[in-house]
Chains A and B, each alone.
Chain A
């Protein structure tokens, strides 16, 4: 099977190691990975902040670039939602682009969704010893309705003890531009998340979105806590 990886700008620029593990996981699953170096950002930051014209121009670019791909795998619930759910919203008044956005939307999979739903993966070869806890990223959970898939994958990893934190579905307070515009509220929400992570005694917090992880890591690091943040691909690729 052939799949195009849209690695997201955050992974590309801040977390290349996640991208490397993504490629590893996909190849292990027998997927022929393609990466278009023309890719940049899906336009979500502009879209969420109300700058829809700018978002539209980036969305158009994305559509042109990825239209020919059969399958597009995105390691982020929020970027995948942007393409799957919000591109059609952006182009609702433009019938031609709307049709193209909708067609594209059908081919987009979030990483864990791709592995579980499309490839039907149930066992993984990786090993990762220790307690981990999983944070549900909001867009992944509520726009894409992905809840079980990442948990299934994590439980399949040898040595992993998955401990659910209290209210794992609560937002971490990131919200993109929200973390800057309402930084105090954002930090207060994050604190609650950190407290809940700590209460599990897990050494690692896993999510499917590096945006959330970056936010949580920022808080953990500021508070000199040694809990690590990991993208799910990093656990699935561990050996």
Chain B
């Protein structure tokens, strides 16, 4: 069964009950966070860089049309083709047409979140193509028939033993769980694919409007292969990936790798401008840039959510999130997991379907502190929660919602007036009596049973503070009078 955002609670529980996943998650997130912390420390002007990066994103997104049109014209000048896709199916169809025209049989892919978002692999496989993910993590995940569970470390949930078993089953290799051997297997298997492929598909980390340049950041070299060998290169990018100039890129190249993998620079940064030029021996004959909306304009039109479009997809907020650390990426049931995923999934797939995600956060704010462009994720989660409570959506016909609403209204009525508050606190003390055993409350009725399942509840004190205060005031007045 495929994970869905609708089933967050169930999927989270499954993850919590999976000890090997728990171990893998804890090890991996701790490791990446430590590396990041070291790399970030080297930046003496970190706050300036973050502000600058955010400002560039703000200003670009505010004039998105302008920069996208500039990008389009520059890509065309460089000999590339540009296609504007409103929905996932527009992009799918365009790629299908290309596939047909080129009589393509084999497609190699570099890691692209957007292609996950539009379900491109399944779509192309249905058309009878062989689609091969070439990033090692993605390759593992594809062989396992799963989805990536982390933006930058797709197979973060798998141990080396699991990978070895998977390779044995799918590729018939030795079940040796040595990481260098497993990597070697991928190198050999995928090398041939690169040479045979008819089409290479990648995402884009950035697209430079000024020069029509696509920027791709990676460590393995698979993206370089994907953009160098197949005769056709298709770039899939979300509308938010454009930045104005090459000079702007500096800031992002300083922040992105450090935030993502704790590196100063990754092994390879490719700046691709158009297809290969006359006389060049390799590089694609054709370069197609697909600019995809697919719900992003909905985010754009919501002032409260707009800054989620500034996201660089570094994955740092996933690593630091206490919830992600416990449930991993698959639990979210969305292409975009973790804190930023909980913000952008609802506008992309619908508020009702993703209704559990805005609540999948303690609002601790660690994501905002670690974000290289200072995206205020907790505030946006609050906005989404608000939307779920009042805006028309299917949540409003959910009995759980009404129970919550009833409790909230009753509670807020009780809090609105001193007399009611005092009365309420007396009633609550009466109500807690049957549950009070040895100064502890270990069982409460639904929904509070969810607390007492694993934690005791603090009983209401015999007397509220205000009673003490009033006595204290009275006795000090008495003292004054006595004096």
Beyond A7-B465, A50-B389, A53-B390, 5 additional pairs, beta carbon < 8 A: A14-B459, A175-B361, A182-B12, A222-B454, A222-B455
List residues 142-185 of chain B with CB under 8 A from any CB of chain A. none
Is A43's CB under 8 angstroms from B362's CB?
Answer: no
Is B458's CB under 8 angstroms from A184's CB?
Answer: no
B379 to chain A, nearest CB (A): 7
Flag whether A148 is at the interface (Cβ < 8 A): no
Contact with B along A4-25 (1 / 0, CB 8 A): 0001010111111111100100
Our pick among A23, A51, A170 for the contact of B405 (Cβ within 8 Å) is A51
What chain A residues lie within 8 Å of B448 (beta carbons)? 180
What chain A residues lie within 8 Å of B461 (beta carbons)? 13-17
What chain A residues lie within 8 Å of B354 (beta carbons)? none
Flag whether B49 is at the interface (Cβ < 8 A): no
Is B359's CB under 8 angstroms from A181's CB?
Answer: yes
Is B425's CB under 8 angstroms from A13's CB?
Answer: yes
Is A37's CB under 8 angstroms from B369's CB?
Answer: no
In the bound assembly, the distance between CA atoms of A96 and B456 in angstroms comes to: 43
What chain B residues lie within 8 Å of A38 (beta carbons)? 418
Flag whether A138 is at the interface (Cβ < 8 A): yes
B396 to chain A, nearest CB (A): 12
In the bound assembly, the distance between CA atoms of A142 and B408 in angstroms comes to: 27
Our pick among A12, A53, A176 for the contact of B464 (Cβ within 8 Å) is A12
- A-B contacts, 6 of them at CB < 8 A, read A13-B428, A138-B363, A170-B322, A171-B322, A173-B362, A185-B326
In the bound assembly, the distance between CA atoms of A58 and B418 in angstroms comes to: 12
In the bound assembly, the distance between CA atoms of A188 and B326 in angstroms comes to: 7
What chain B residues lie within 8 Å of A11 (beta carbons)? 465
In the bound assembly, the distance between CA atoms of A219 and B453 in angstroms comes to: 10
In the bound assembly, the distance between CA atoms of A141 and B378 in angstroms comes to: 14
B427 to chain A, nearest CB (A): 12
Flag whether B83 is at the interface (Cβ < 8 A): no
Choose the segment among B189-197, B199-207, B409-417 that binds chain A (4+ C-beta atoms closer than 8 Å).
B409-417
What chain B residues lie within 8 Å of A40 (beta carbons)? 415-418, 421
Is B442's CB under 8 angstroms from A222's CB?
Answer: yes
| Contact A217 B404, CB 8 Å, known A37-B469, A138-B364, A175-B361 | no
List residues 358-381 of chain B with CB under 8 A from any CB of chain A. 358-366, 368-369, 379
Is B364's CB under 8 angstroms from A19's CB?
Answer: no
Flag whether B352 is at the interface (Cβ < 8 A): no
Contact with B along A159-188 (1 / 0, CB 8 A): 000000000011101111111111111111
Our pick among B362, B385, B456, B466 for the contact of A221 (Cβ within 8 Å) is B456
Flag whether B450 is at the interface (Cβ < 8 A): yes
Our pick among B366, B369, B389, B450 for the contact of A180 (Cβ within 8 Å) is B450
Flag whether B457 is at the interface (Cβ < 8 A): yes
| Contact A178 B451, CB 8 Å, known A35-B466, A185-B16, A222-B456 | no
Flag whether A151 is at the interface (Cβ < 8 A): no
Is B454's CB under 8 angstroms from A20's CB?
Answer: no
Our pick among A7, A35, A138 for the contact of B362 (Cβ within 8 Å) is A138
Flag whether B48 is at the interface (Cβ < 8 A): no
Is B386's CB under 8 angstroms from A171's CB?
Answer: no
Contact with B along A23-46 (1 / 0, CB 8 A): 100000000000101101101011
A20 to chain B, nearest CB (A): 6
Is B326's CB under 8 angstroms from A179's CB?
Answer: no
Is B464's CB under 8 angstroms from A16's CB?
Answer: yes
Flag whether B460 is at the interface (Cβ < 8 A): yes
Residue of B nearest to A50 (CB): B385
In the bound assembly, the distance between CA atoms of A52 and B391 in angstroms comes to: 12
Size of interface on A: residues with Cβ below 8 Å to B? 68
| Contact A50 B388, CB 8 Å, known A12-B464, A89-B379 | yes
Residue of A nearest to B425 (CB): A13
Is A183's CB under 8 angstroms from B322's CB?
Answer: no
Is B369's CB under 8 angstroms from A142's CB?
Answer: yes
What chain A residues lie within 8 Å of B474 (beta carbons)? none
In the bound assembly, the distance between CA atoms of A192 and B26 in angstroms comes to: 11
What chain B residues lie within 8 Å of A47 (beta carbons)? 382
Is B415's CB under 8 angstroms from A186's CB?
Answer: no
A88 to chain B, nearest CB (A): 12
Flag whether A61 is at the interface (Cβ < 8 A): yes
Our pick among A7, A9, A23, A181 for the contact of B415 (Cβ within 8 Å) is A9
Is A218's CB under 8 angstroms from B408's CB?
Answer: no
Our pick among B13, B369, B464 for the contact of A184 (Cβ within 8 Å) is B13
In the bound assembly, the distance between CA atoms of A121 and B5 in angstroms comes to: 50
Is B382's CB under 8 angstroms from A50's CB?
Answer: yes
Contact with B along A64-99 (1 / 0, CB 8 A): 000000000000000000000000010000000000
Is B454's CB under 8 angstroms from A58's CB?
Answer: no
Residue of B nearest to A188 (CB): B326
- 8 tightest A-B CB contacts, nearest first: A175-B362, A50-B385, A218-B455, A19-B465, A142-B365, A171-B364, A183-B450, A138-B364
B418 to chain A, nearest CB (A): 5
What chain A residues lie within 8 Å of B483 (beta carbons)? none
Is B16's CB under 8 angstroms from A184's CB?
Answer: yes
What chain B residues lie within 8 Å of A35 (beta carbons)? 466, 469
Flag whether B9 is at the interface (Cβ < 8 A): yes
What chain A residues lie within 8 Å of B404 (beta carbons)? 49
What chain A residues lie within 8 Å of B389 (beta carbons)? 49-52
Contact with A along B416-453 (1 / 0, CB 8 A): 11100100010010000000000010100001101101
Residue of B nearest to A54 (CB): B412
Flag whether A215 is at the interface (Cβ < 8 A): yes
In the bound assembly, the distance between CA atoms of A12 and B385 in angstroms comes to: 28
Flag whether A190 is at the interface (Cβ < 8 A): yes
| Contact A54 B409, CB 8 Å, known A171-B366, A189-B362 | yes
Residue of B nearest to A51 (CB): B408
What chain B residues lie within 8 Å of A12 (beta carbons)? 464-466
In the bound assembly, the distance between CA atoms of A55 and B421 in angstroms comes to: 16
What chain A residues lie within 8 Å of B428 (beta carbons)? 13
What chain A residues lie within 8 Å of B388 (beta carbons)? 50
In the bound assembly, the distance between CA atoms of A219 and B379 in angstroms comes to: 28
What chain A residues lie within 8 Å of B472 (beta carbons)? 23
List residues 316-341 of chain B with CB under 8 A from any CB of chain A. 322-323, 325-327
A18 to chain B, nearest CB (A): 8
Contact with A along B70-82 (1 / 0, CB 8 A): 0000000000000
Flag whether B470 is at the interface (Cβ < 8 A): yes
